[in-house]
Amino acid sequence: MPTMTLAQALRNALDIALERDDRVMIFGEDVGKRGGVFTITEGLQEKYGEMRVFDTPLDELGILGMGVGLAAAGMRPVAEIQFIDYIWPGFDALYSEAAKLRFRSGGRFAVPLVVRSPYGGRVKGGLYHSQSPETLFVHTAGLKVVIPSNPYDAKGLLLAAIADDNPVVFLEHKRMYFMSKGEVPEGYYEEPIGKAKVVREGSDVTLIAYGMMVLDSLEAAKTLEKEGISVEVIDLRSLMPFDGEAILNSVAKTGHLVTVHEAPRTLGFAAEVAAFVAERAIEYLDGPIVRVTGWDMPFPYILEDAYMPNPVRIVRGVKKALNLL
């Protein structure tokens, strides 16, 4: 099995999708000749032509409006938003159109649209190249939200997202594009949307994470192991729908729950996990539910390290959940 970076795995998935289904179209700012600012679409225009892989004017509303129209007319569009921080002029097309079209048409239209976009910090990107706004998409009924943490999942989940008849917001951690490497099968495969993965088994505490925070959580788990604390790490992979069963199974075993994300704390996805577990498994809990998150502030530039969740913050969160802090 070849080893690929996250970027290569995503490119490979797009290549396969374009190859096997002539309804798939890829478009966005600089995705053509340039191959995307993160090179995810490199070489694809050359291979599939300018009707299948094309640059758009610099207009997120136009990009996402076009995505909805293509999907409504039977194509399988894959839109790239250069940075998720810039999606807002197009949010109307996502929030009011893509997410609601199936419902408002009485189930008659399908919207097989994938919106790919880099998110996340630790790249010295400042306010507008670092944010993690996933909660806003999760809170938009009608959208699915997927965030992979490794090349294998990224490819399988992206192919599943393209095959899905619903709009999927597919967030890729930009710090991981070239840093994250792993074995990836060459052919077509799908990883199921809505299914989490236990990436480390443990018995004392459940650590829920997604995207790059899976790596920080695994590092924290290693540190805690040395202190005799056994951490189970769950990679959520999909936030909408999310794998409630996997969370409950783990919490029933460990009795302690910590959720990690880069996004701001208040009403972040960790709040949903906390409410979900409190509502149906509070009897299993032997300690407080803890959130390890970014702060409730815009993302800072030069002091980004002050904002970013990290293994130390996660270790402290776990200890708090275990009433050790």
Q: Which residues bind another protein (CB under 8 A)?
A: 25, 51, 56-57, 59, 61-62, 64-75, 77, 89, 92-93, 96-97, 100-112, 141-142, 144, 164-166, 194, 240-241, 244
Cβ(43)–Cβ(19) below 8 Å? no
Helix (H, G, I), strand (E, B) or coil at 258: strand
Q: Which is nearer to another protein, 270 or 322 (CB)?
A: 270
Q: Which is nearer to another protein, 2 or 241 (CB)?
A: 241
Task: Provide, rounded to whole angstroms, the least separation between the CB of residue 242 and another protein.
Answer: 8
What φ, ψ does residue 292 adopt, rounded to 5°?
A: -115, 115
Task: Provide, rounded to whole angstroms, the least separation between the CB of residue 245 and another protein.
Answer: 8
Task: Provide, rounded to whole angstroms, the least separation between the CB of residue 48 and another protein.
Answer: 12
Q: Which ranges in 164-268 belong to alpha helices (H)?
A: 213-226, 244-254
Helix (H, G, I), strand (E, B) or coil at 108: coil
What CA–CA distance (Å, rounded) separates 92 from 60?
A: 10
Rg (CA), the chain: 19
- Residues with catalytic function: 129
What CA–CA distance (Å, rounded) separates 231 from 224?
A: 7
What CA–CA distance (Å, rounded) separates 217 from 231?
A: 9
Task: Provide, rounded to whole angstroms, the least separation between the CB of residue 157 and another protein.
Answer: 16
Count CB neighbours of 134 within 10 A.
25
Task: Provide, rounded to whole angstroms, the least separation between the CB of residue 64 and another protein.
Answer: 7
What φ, ψ does residue 224 adopt, rounded to 5°?
A: -70, -30
Q: Which is nearer to another protein, 102 or 253 (CB)?
A: 102
What CA–CA distance (Å, rounded) separates 127 from 85?
A: 8
What CA–CA distance (Å, rounded) separates 325 from 201?
A: 23
Q: Which is nearer to another protein, 23 or 319 (CB)?
A: 23
Which residue, among 14, 19, 260, has the nearest Cα to 159 in the 3D structure? Answer: 14
Task: Provide, rounded to whole angstroms, the least separation between the CB of residue 78 and another protein.
Answer: 12
What φ, ψ does residue 221 adopt, rounded to 5°?
A: -60, -40
Q: Which ranges in the chain belong to alpha helices (H)?
A: 6-20, 44-48, 60-72, 91-92, 101-104, 134-138, 151-163, 213-226, 244-254, 269-281, 304-307, 311-321
Q: Which is nearer to another protein, 6 or 18 (CB)?
A: 18
Q: Which is nearer to another protein, 84 or 163 (CB)?
A: 163
